[in-house]
Amino acid sequence: MTDATEQANDANRRQVLYWRLLSRLFDHEEQSSLESASLAVVQDIGLPPALLDPYTGVDNVVQRHPDLEVEFDGLMVRDAGEERDEAAEVRRAALVSKVLLNVFGTGAGTVTAGQLARWQSDAGWLERALGCRPGQLRGGRSGHGTSGGVQTPDLGTLVPDIGPELGALEADLVKRMHLREVLADPALAAQLTPSMSLIEQLLRDKDNLSGVALANAKSLIRRYVDEVAEVLRTEVEKAAVGSLDRSVPPKRVFRNLDLDRTIWKNLTNWSPEEERLYVDRLYYRQTARKTTPQRLIAVVDQSGSMVDSMVNCAILASIFAGLPKVDVHLIAYDTQALDLTPWVGDPFETLLRTNLGGGNDGMVAMLMAQAKIAEPANTVVVWISDFYETRIEQLFENMAAIHRSGAKFIPVGSVTSAGRGSVNPWFRERFKDLGTPVISGHIRKLVHELKTFLTF
């Protein structure tokens, strides 16, 4: 058989696998000819038939065939100079089809806790195939950016908007669960993995839960909060640099000893005859950093479209509240404003007091926020909303007044991990004219903006 013929056969095998994938995703009727042809291809290239079973999770396949794990990692990331190998592409097509079908072929009808758990695991394998860590694209708790010195790919160009789409799929699965029944059964509740979609549903339904179901719901919320807090705390610590305070004498302790400077300053005391350096003065490193009391006022729209922003902001506010000389105040609003400052140190308690949903009337929160501004020069106001308001001109004029007073005003369209958010274009243009453009995208953007104002 010639090379050209073999390449043509490999191309046909790959097409069979992808046509079977499309058929499975868009047609509920199983196409027997595509199924049998795909089975023949998989067996011919030495892969397990379980790859074609949409009810078998990737975890299960990898447990039975451990050698496949390394192939799934970075499966969908192609190096720019990588040569195209038709035989390798057939194998890649079989593995890619498995991941895509398990994640995007969610079917219909009621979802069990076990099915949700399997989907979450398979979504994690898709994220690994894209060169990320499980949970990363869905706004999970595994962090972002680099890991072990390896930079993750630019997913904005690789697969645009896949993070929000994964989040939407997960949210749909959660809605199709009989969540209250699952929470009431400790064995079923233990199968749940906390995620933003699940937390949103729990927060919306918390007033209708009691007993064991409520206890399990609170446990899941706390687990998620603790995991996200760990990631965000790392982001804040990276930003927490501050400037050295030269007015404070350095502590004369061994760990602060500047050995290089001490030797350099005492070189005039070198004795060539004795080959000995006499030290008449020790020099120590400056470690104290300038800290000015700062007030951070975070105002968060808690309407239905801003759930993940509410969760992320509650956690972030608690982290900043734990920093020295940062006075944090937190206000949530829909058509009424709620001062959550007494609980700002505990994001779990903060979230339990939110009332997600409702309309938007930012003026009720504005009045509360203005009363908290004592020293504008040392105050930053972070306003997180989609800015679809009822009293838009009045609200904007008050925001502009805060900016003119000397306070730092930061409008934020979304602080989601996935980066999708809708902002009222009327507000967006006026904030740009004011010189305070709306921050949209990942929560790290907000952390970066805050660190330029707050000194830790």
What's the DSSP call for residue 326?
E
Token pair 């398979």 in the structure block, residue = 122
Confidence at 227, pLDDT banded by 50, 70, 90: confident
pLDDT score at 157: 44
Query: In the prediction, which pLDDT does 264 show?
Result: 80
Query: What's the mean pLDDT when you consider all of the chain?
Result: 81
Q: Who wins on pLDDT, 33 or 30?
A: 33
107 — alpha (psi -120 to 50), left (phi > 0) or beta? left
Lowest mean pLDDT among 28-42, 122-136, 243-257, 318-332: 243-257
- Confidence at residue 156, expressed as pLDDT on a 0 to 100 scale: 42
Residue 454 or 96, more confident: 96
Determine contact, residues 201/217, Cβ cutoff 8 Å.
no
Q: Look at domain 294-451 and name its CATH class.
A: alpha beta
Hey, how many other C-beta atoms are within 10 angstroms of the C-beta on 16?
Answer: 20
Distances (CA, A) of 278 to 186, 266, 283, 285: 71, 7, 14, 20
Q: Cα 116 vs. chain centroid, distance in angstroms? A: 20
Give the per-residue pLDDT at 154.
46
**Does residue 134 register a pLDDT over 70?**
yes
List pLDDT tens digits, range 50-84. Answer: 999 888 999 999 999 999 999 998 888 876 566 66
pLDDT confidence of residue 404: 94
In this prediction, residue 149 has a pLDDT band, given cuts at 50, 70 and 90, of very low
**Top-confidence residue, 432 or 293:** 432
Q: Which residue has the tokens 């706390």?
A: 222
The Cα 237–Cα 407 span in angstroms is: 24
Can you name the residues that pair with 295 across neighbouring β-strands? Answer: 327, 379
Q: Residues 362-376, buried b or exposed e (16+ Cβ, 10 A)?
A: bbbbbebbeebbeeb
Tell me how far apart the alpha carbons of residues 410 and 438 are, in angstroms, rounded to a whole number: 7
The mean pLDDT value for 369-397 works out to 91
> Is residue 168 within 8 Å of 87, Cβ to Cβ?
no
Higher pLDDT, 229 or 362: 362
pTM above 0.75, yes or no: no
- Between 421 and 148, residue with greater pLDDT: 421
Out of 76-80, 192-196, 211-215, 247-251, which region has the weakest mean confidence (pLDDT)?
247-251
Residue 152 and residue 147: Cα distance in Å, rounded? 8
Residue 211 pLDDT more than 80?
A: yes
Which carries the bigger pLDDT value, residue 311 or residue 406?
406
> What is residue 142's predicted lDDT score, i.e. its pLDDT?
45
Calpha distance 271→282 (Å, rounded): 18
Greater model confidence, 83 or 131: 131
The number of helix segments (H) and strand segments (E) in the chain equals 19, 9
Instruction: Report the SS3 class of residue 222.
Output: helix
**pLDDT for the residue numbered 249:** 67
Burial class (CB in 10 A: 0-12, 13-18, 19+), 60: middle
**What residues have CB less than 8 Å from 171, skipping those under 6 apart?**
197, 200, 201
With a pLDDT cut of 70, the percent of the chain lying above it is 81
Type and span of the H or E element at 88: helix 86-104
Strands 146-147 and 150-151: antiparallel
Q: Using an 8 Å Cβ cutoff, are 282 and 306 in contact?
A: no
Burial 90-117 (b: 16+ CB within 10 A, else e): bbbbbbbbbbbbbbbebeeeebebebbb
Q: Tell me the residue length of the chain.
A: 456
Give me the residues paired with residue 271 across strands. 276
Rounded alpha-carbon distances, angstroms, from residue 273 to 263, 269, 270, 276, 277: 18, 12, 9, 8, 11
Task: Find the angle CA(281)-CA(284)-CA(289) to the nearest 5 degrees.
Answer: 150
Q: Report pLDDT for 167.
A: 79
For range 310-314, the mean pLDDT: 81
**pLDDT for residue 204:** 80
Highest mean pLDDT among 3-17, 309-323, 439-453: 3-17
Residues 121-148 have a mean pLDDT of 70
* Tokens representing residue 48 in the block: 């397990």
pLDDT exceeds cutoff 80 at 419: no
Burial of 420 per CB tally in 10 Å (0-12, 13-18, 19+)? middle
Q: For the chain, which residues make up each domain, given as ranges?
A: 1-105, 294-451
**249-306 per-position pLDDT tens digit:** 666 766 778 888 888 888 888 888 888 888 888 888 765 554 555 888 999 888 766 6
